[in-house]
Amino acid sequence: MELQIDRISKTFKNNGRPHPVLQDVSLTVGGGAFVTLLGPSGCGKTTLLNIIGGFLEATSGEVRLNGAVVKRPGPERGFVFQDYALFPWMTVRENILYPLKQQRWSNAERAQRLAQLLSMAHLEGKEHLYPSQMSGGMKQRVAVIRALAPMPKVLLMDEPLGALDQHLRQSLQEELESLWETDGTTVLMVTHDVDEAVFLSDRVIVMSTDPGNIAGDISIRLPRKRDRNGTAYHAYKDQLTRLVHSSGDFPGTARMASAR
């Protein structure tokens, strides 16, 4: 599996004036790796993910999946949304089965996949709950296994843990890691949290702002079940933090200073 992002540029109109958000971004991910797009808000990382997902059209450039150009959303690219986008009128079970019905899986295959996913996410017995009956952490796990259900070639996640508090976030990072290890899909995740990026990623792509581009591509070579207190872990965090800060105006630094 290979997802190729080839010289993607995106320009929005801002009060009639063109505002480039992404400029010539090229990137290749694949091989079951967990890859993170890290950057300050406004660096266009979500825009890039939406272009890969097919929800937004690039001004120029191409996204290719195993060599074939993709332009529209499709089940071979699973997507986890920031606000989960679980269908509130469907139970956990119906939400997870929805993509499988669209792919015309047989009833037996559906039942088998459902059981497998529920056990992967430790959600056995919860399949009849509606989203309104679930905690934020549960919704998040359902959103991930729903996206994984039709066995996508790549899983795209837009700040999947962004809506959760710090404590829950860390335990769900571990959940996410074990889901990914069981499933084996290539993951491309957007986050602004340096610790999350170091904990989860094989590779961290740091993005810069104005216009968005790749400022660094760092491989995290640490054995898994990573120790958040290890020295090497902290060295990576420091390296990435410096890279993020030097690559964009952060609120409180450059932008504020220039405003004064």
Partner 1 sequence: MLKRFDWMKMIYPLVTTGVFIGIWQMASGVYNSDLLMPPPVKTVSALWRAVQDWSVLTNLLLTLKRVLTGFGIACIIGLPLGFAMGASRAVFQLFDPLISSVRQVPMMAWVPLTIFWFGLGDGPTLFLIAMVGIFPLILNTIAGVRAISPTYYHAARSMGAGPWSIFAHIIVPAALPDILTGMRLAMGLGWMSVICAEFIATSAGFGFAMVEAQTRMETDSLLALMIMGASVGYGIDKTLRLIESGLTRWRHAA
With CB under 8 A as the contact rule, the residue among 1, 4, 20, 81 that binds partner 1 is 81
Q: Counting contacts by CB under 8 A, is residue 74 touching partner 1?
A: yes
With CB under 8 A as the contact rule, the residue among 30, 75, 137, 211 that binds partner 1 is 75
Q: Counting contacts by CB under 8 A, is residue 113 touching partner 1?
A: no
Q: How far apart are CA 210 and CA 43, in angstroms?
A: 7
With CB under 8 A as the contact rule, the residue among 30, 54, 61, 211 that binds partner 1 is 54
Q: Counting contacts by CB under 8 A, is residue 106 touching partner 1?
A: no
Cβ atoms of 12 and 212 within 8 Å: the answer is no
The conformation of residue 40, written as its DSSP 8-state character, comes to -
With CB under 8 A as the contact rule, the residue among 4, 6, 64, 98 that binds partner 1 is 98
Q: Counting contacts by CB under 8 A, is residue 55 touching partner 1?
A: yes
**Contacts to partner 1 from residues 236-255, by CB under 8 A:** none
Stretch that binds partner 1, among 19-27, 53-61, 107-115, 247-255 (CB under 8 A): 53-61
The least CB distance from residue 152 to partner 1, in Å, is 9
Q: Counting contacts by CB under 8 A, is residue 99 touching partner 1?
A: yes
The least CB distance from residue 54 to partner 1, in Å, is 7
Q: Counting contacts by CB under 8 A, is residue 105 touching partner 1?
A: no
Q: How far apart are CA 173 and CA 190, in angstroms?
A: 13
136-148 vs 92-102: helix crossing angle, rounded to 10? 20
**Contacts to partner 1 from residues 147-186, by CB under 8 A:** 147, 150
Tell me, by CB under 8 A, how many residues bind partner 1. 31
Bridge partners, 4 (sequence order): 28, 64
With CB under 8 A as the contact rule, the residue among 16, 88, 184, 252 that binds partner 1 is 88
Bridge partners, 27 (sequence order): 5
The least CB distance from residue 55 to partner 1, in Å, is 5
Tokens of 104: 């015309």
- Please give the C-alpha separations between residue 181 and each of 30, 201, 247, in angstroms, as whole numbers: 14, 12, 31
Q: Counting contacts by CB under 8 A, is residue 72 touching partner 1?
A: yes
Q: How far apart are CA 255 and CA 173, in angstroms?
A: 31
Bridge partners, 17 (sequence order): 14
Can the peptide bond before residue 75 be classed as cis, meaning omega within 30 degrees of 0? no
Cβ atoms of 224 and 56 within 8 Å: the answer is no
- Please give the C-alpha separations between residue 112 and each of 43, 98, 106, in angstroms, as whole numbers: 41, 14, 10
Q: How far apart are CA 9 and CA 252, in angstroms?
A: 28
Q: Counting contacts by CB under 8 A, is residue 78 touching partner 1?
A: yes
Binding residues (CB under 8 A) for partner 1: these are: 53-55, 72-75, 77-79, 81, 83, 85, 87-91, 98-99, 101-103, 129-133, 146-147, 150
